[in-house]
Amino acid sequence: MKNKKYWLLTVLSVMLIMVLAACGGESATKENTEKENTNGESTSTDNGSKSSDIEFLSLATGGTQGTYYALGGTFADLITDETGIKTTAEVSQASAANVNALKAGDAEIVFIQTDIAYYAKNGELMFEGDAMENLVAIGGLYPETVQLVTTANSGIKSFEDLKGKKVSVGAPGSGTYANAEQLLEIHGLSIKDDIQAQNLDFGESTDGLQTGQIDAAFITAGYPTAAVEALGATADVVIVPVAADKAEALIAKYPYYAKDTIPAGTYGLESDVPAVSVLAMIATTSDLPEDVAYGITKAIYANAEKISHAKGAFIKTETALDGIGIPVHPGAQKFFDEQ
């Protein structure tokens, strides 16, 4: 009887030791997993998708008096709230410079014109021999109007009047520079031979117009553009029109353009002014994790009604992929497919 009790106690002790060992192993495994999740590159969510450990995102915009910068702060706040990733809007030299910022890893998200995105992806014009193969779209935003801005005092009323004049065309290699070059070409003018080209940003351009140091300026941005509005406070703004036949010739040669109109009342204009535009978009690289790209896309397009800038009215899910011209990030595509 005594031996039976001893045997029973021995069996119970062994079983208890095994249970404690199993619990200890489970705790160790759980602890190791938690450590891996904290220190590793990514963790797994309940649905099996990757959750990135990215803590900061840089959004490259444009100059402080352009539409990119005006929208950038709002976008950064929306992305921060939606994804939990601290996002900051950065001043930049806009489209072409933003491509280079992506390449260098100085930005994760950028504003860019669709035409410049196409050149960068395919290694054309200012990106000849230097294609950015991993450039992908988040989505399109709004039309960016190519505005040839001058004042009533300049006497300039047509593109032909620009001959021999001091004209701001933006920085070499910028989107504005390319637009200026192509529009001048359609009007039979050369940026090198027929005008005195000045490489100024938007703020410098309107300051120059105000002081009379330049005669006209190309500004590619969504209207109303802050720099041009500021000019309108001290001078009578004139936007030089693009005739219908010239617009059609431009679109035939460069199909990423579209006809546009700057409505009466903008900058104090007395009547509508025919113009042309490209499209503003948000881009990133294919290296950005899918869940982060999804969150960025959702933050912007699902909250467009929170965007107070006038261009917020153009930011719509149903038109976000129109006229993009480059591949869309899988994370962004997933969001649009769900709508």
Model confidence band, residue 25 (pLDDT cutoffs 50, 70, 90) = very low
Whether cis (ω within 30° of 0) applies to the bond prior to 224 is yes
The pLDDT > 70 percentage for the chain reads 85
The pLDDT, as a whole number, for residue 323 is 85
Q: Which residue has the higher pLDDT, 250 or 7?
A: 250
- Say whether pLDDT at 196 is over 70: yes
The pLDDT, as a whole number, for residue 13 is 53
Q: Which residue has the higher pLDDT, 20 or 110?
A: 110
pLDDT, tens digit (0-9, with 9 covering 90-100), for 30-76: 444 443 343 334 433 333 334 578 999 999 999 888 899 999 999 99
Residues 201 and 50: their CA atoms lie apart, in Å, by 41
> Which parts of the chain are beta strand (E)?
42-44, 50-52, 56-60, 86-90, 109-113, 135-151, 166-168, 196-198, 216-221, 237-239, 258-262, 273-285
**Residue among 101, 94, 91 at smallest CA distance from 115:** 94
Residues 311-317, mean pLDDT to the nearest whole number? 95
Cβ pair 242, 273 in contact under 8 A = no
**What is the C-alpha radius of gyration for the chain, rounded to an integer number of angstroms?**
28
- Say whether pLDDT at 11 is over 80: no
Report the CATH superfamily, name and number, of domain 55-142+280-338: Periplasmic binding protein-like II (3.40.190.10)
Residues 24 and 17: their CA atoms lie apart, in Å, by 10
pLDDT, tens digit (0-9, with 9 covering 90-100), for 88-98: 999 998 899 99
And the tokens for 252?
A: 């035939």
The pLDDT, as a whole number, for residue 210 is 95
CA-CA distances (angstroms) from residue 190 to 29, 85, 116, 166? 70, 46, 20, 13
Cβ pair 68, 142 in contact under 8 A = no
- Say whether pLDDT at 166 is over 50: yes
Q: What does DSSP assign to residue 225?
A: P
Mean model confidence pLDDT for the chain: 87
Q: Strands 109-113 and 273-285, how do they pair?
A: antiparallel
The pLDDT, as a whole number, for residue 173 is 72
Q: Which residue has the higher pLDDT, 44 or 5?
A: 5
Q: Compute, in degrees rounded to 10, the torsion defined by CA atoms 312, 313, 315, 318.
A: 160
Handedness of CA 130, 136, 138, 139 (dihedral sign): positive
- Say whether pLDDT at 19 is over 80: no
The pLDDT, as a whole number, for residue 66 is 87
Segment among 135-149, 204-218, 251-265 with least mean pLDDT: 251-265
Segment among 34-48, 226-240, 290-304 with least mean pLDDT: 34-48
pTM of the model: 0.77
Residues 228 and 166: their CA atoms lie apart, in Å, by 18
The pLDDT, as a whole number, for residue 339 is 95
Cβ pair 113, 295 in contact under 8 A = no
Residues 335 and 298: their CA atoms lie apart, in Å, by 7
Model confidence band, residue 15 (pLDDT cutoffs 50, 70, 90) = low
User: Has domain 144-278 been given CATH number 3.40.50.970?
Assistant: no
Three-class secondary structure of residue 67 per DSSP: helix
Paired strand residues for 151:
237
Q: Do domains 55-142+280-338 and 144-278 have the same CATH topology?
A: yes
Residues 221 and 146: their CA atoms lie apart, in Å, by 7
And the tokens for 57?
A: 């995102």
* Domain boundary assignment for the chain: 55-142+280-338, 144-278
Residues 259 and 250: their CA atoms lie apart, in Å, by 10
pLDDT, tens digit (0-9, with 9 covering 90-100), for 115-144: 999 999 999 988 999 999 999 999 999 999
The pLDDT, as a whole number, for residue 255 is 82
Residues 331-338, mean pLDDT to the nearest whole number? 98
- Say whether pLDDT at 18 is over 70: no
Cβ pair 233, 224 in contact under 8 A = no
Segment among 13-22, 76-85, 203-212, 290-299 with least mean pLDDT: 13-22
